[in-house]
Amino acid sequence: MSEEKAIELKGVTKYFGDTAANDHVDLALNKGEILAVLGENGSGKTTLMNMISGIYFPDKGHIYVHGNEVSIGSPKDAFNLGIGMVHQHFKLINVMSALENIVLGIDPPEGGFNLQKIRDEIIRLSEDYGFEIDPDKKIYNMSVSEKQTVEIIKVLYRGADILILDEPTAVLTPQESDKLFNVLRGMKEHGHSIIIITHKLNEVLDISDRVTVLRKGKNAGTALTKDMTVDLLTEMMVGEKITLDIERTSPVNPSKRMVVEDLTVMNGEGIPALKHVTFEARSGEILGVAGISGSGQKELLESIAGLAAPENGNIRFYSDKGEEKDRNDTSIAFVPEDRLGMGLVASMNVTDNVMLRSYNEGKGRFVERKKPFELAKKIIKALSVVIPDMSIRISSLSGGNVQKILLGREISQKPDVLLVAYPTRGLDINSSFTIYNELNEQKKNGVCVICVIEDLDVLLDISDRIIVLSGGRLSGTEDARSSNKERIGRLMTGLEAEK
């Protein structure tokens, strides 16, 4: 039995800090099959694959390759076992050519390197599998799909017979994806075993032989693809409905607070991350933002906060009376995803961090620490922050306490619009509820709360309305009270257009 398995994982566990990214995961890849690994963001797909390819070392568990137990300590070990991974963020050296990237790090064949011979081999390899590649083109001159081709050839050239592709279609156009799938089918014909990580359900059904679903770091089940449907997969992926008991009041006198019109925002690489998004946000309500990570949530919040300049479109703010007012007259509070990088200064204490928002207040040339100190005390009390000493640097607090201070500081600005990104990521239940209650409190006070949350159960329970982003576009606006996880999930993956 075990001879037929290319890879088998037994009880593989990996911790990052206190959180288990993978918790006793079993997984098997049969020889000559395409296995899809499906799961939501943060379900541990990439971490698991990184352990097979030697980037991470598992804390617990066993890995078997072709039936033999192995210890994979580095990517080189993985290569020697015939395992090659195409990472979601390409591991290519920009200033080098395709050829140079492909030969990088491999031991010279007998008789030394003959670049001309390798060039011919690469061209032959790409013809075999139906790639197009210019071996001498520099990576920085390549499109994403060309870069991916280089990554795949790099892996094949090293003689890998087990291929892992991490969300290979995330950056491809549908035509490019089809082409890639044809290549993958061709590789399967050649006897390669392939794992493809994805969260696009139609791709799973299209390409894979079997599918393993991960949920919150655990294996949620494996099935033959031919027995599966989109609905069954969605259910496996999101799991059963969990009731959270978050108190949700009806919005009181919601009025138009902010209108986003035809908003297009570029990401850092100059590619549009948010495309022609239009929606309205109201006072006294929580507007949830759903979407697979990297669908433009970051760019949306940052452009509302004024941190990213929109390429196109407008963001208008309105007073309670419905009159348009200037951004500068609107108080916008922002709790970013990167709390210690963007929200707070990790090496400063609580008071100084609280003061970051009020440095301009106070008289005279010298900083006035008294008011911020009192405010910090107030936040600590109101949100029951556990802190041993007011003078310690904020990075030595736990994630939950850090988040409470950040949220407390932002709320103390008495915002008109409160932007929150992943407010409870990495937080325990109690801290999470403190945060949810505080968000509800703000809503009651008439604040327009815009909230990006990855956990759909929470999002459905706390929001009044939900907008769904898919690939940077608005794929739906839902009433949170009447919608459900499956529907949001399908909108997120772009399977269902808004009706």
Partner 1 sequence: MTILITFIVKAIGQGIAILFGATGEIITEKSGNLNLGIPGIMYMGGISGLMGAFFYELSTDNPSPLAGMIISLLCALAVSALGGLLYSFLTVSLRANQNVVGLAITTFGVGFGNFFGGSISKIAGGVGQISVATSASAYKATIPVLSNIPVIGKLLFGYGFLSYAAIVIAILAWYFLFRARRGLNLRAVGEDPAAADAAGINVTVYKYAATVSGCAIAGLGGLYYVMEYLGGTWSNDSFGDRGWLAVALVILALWNPLNAIWGSIAFGALYILYIYLPGLTRATQELVKVTPYVVTIVVLVLTSFRNKPEDQPPASLGLSYFRENR
Q: Which parts of this chain interact with partner 1 (CB under 8 A)?
A: 16, 53, 55-57, 74-76, 79, 85, 87, 90-96, 100-101, 103-106, 108, 113, 138, 140, 154
* d(C-alpha 188, C-alpha 483), whole Å: 40
Phi (first) and psi of residue 315, to 5 degrees: -125, 120
Q: Using the minimum distance from each CB to partner 1, give the nearer residue, 56 or 129.
A: 56
Helix 230-238, helix 485-492: angle, nearest 10? 110
Q: Strand pairing partners for 272?
A: 266
- For partner 1, the closer CB: 105 or 306: 105
Asked if residues 399 and 426 have their Cβ atoms less than 8 Å apart, the reply is yes
Q: CB of residue 290 vs partner 1: minimum separation in angstroms?
A: 24
**Whose Cβ is closer to partner 1: residue 90's or residue 317's?**
90
Q: What is the closest distance, in whole angstroms, from the C-beta atom of residue 74 to partner 1 in the complex?
A: 7
Q: How far, in Å, are 120, 156, 194 from residue 114 at the CA level?
A: 10, 18, 30
Closest approach, Cβ 202 to partner 1, in A, equals 29
Whichever of 77 and 206 has its CB closer to partner 1, that residue is 77
Distance in Å, CB of 76 to partner 1, minimum = 4
Computed on alpha carbons and rounded to an integer, the radius of gyration of the chain in Å comes to: 25
Q: How far is the CB of 338 from partner 1 (least distance, A)?
A: 12
Looking at beta carbons only, is 214 or 469 nearer to partner 1? 214
Shortest distance, CB of residue 315 to partner 1, whole angstroms?
32
Q: How far is the CB of 92 from partner 1 (least distance, A)?
A: 6
SS3 content of the chain, % helix, strand, coil (to 5): 35, 25, 40
149 vs 225 by CB, closer to partner 1:
149
Closest to 497 measured CA to CA, from 464, 468, 454: 468
The token duo for 16 is 């990052």
Q: Are 34 and 168 in contact (CB under 8 A)?
A: no
Cβ-based nearer residue to partner 1, 156 or 456: 156
Q: How far is the CB of 244 from partner 1 (least distance, A)?
A: 27
3-class secondary structure per residue, 356-390: CCCCCCCCCCCCCCHHHHHHHHHHHHHCCCCCCCC
Which residue, chain included where needed, has tokens 């918790």? 23
Classify burial at 17, counting beta carbons within 10 Å of its beta carbon; exposed 0-12, middle 13-18, buried 19 or more: exposed
Q: Contact 353/335 with Cβ under 8 angstroms?
A: no
Q: What is the nearest approach in angstroms of partner 1 to the Cβ of residue 65?
A: 16
Q: Which is nearer to partner 1, 113 or 359 (CB)?
A: 113
How far, CA to CA in Å, does 440 sit from each of 247, 411, 456?
8, 12, 17
Residue number, 56 or 334, with CB nearest to partner 1: 56
Torsion sign (Cα): 190, 193, 197, 198: positive
* Long-range contacts (CB closer than 8 Å, 24 or more residues apart) made by 114-123: 118/157, 121/157, 122/98, 122/153, 122/157
- Residue closer to partner 1, measured from CB, 102 or 204: 102
* The two structure tokens encoding residue 317: 């703010």
Between CA 24 and CA 247 the distance in angstroms is 34
Instruction: State in angstroms the smallest separation of the CB of 414 from partner 1.
Output: 35
* Cross-strand pairs, 468: 290, 476
Task: Report strand pairing: 473-479 vs 465-470.
Answer: antiparallel
* CB nearer partner 1, residue 116 or residue 328: 116
Collect all residues with Cβ–Cβ distance below 8 Å to 56 and sequence separation of at least 6. 14, 47, 50
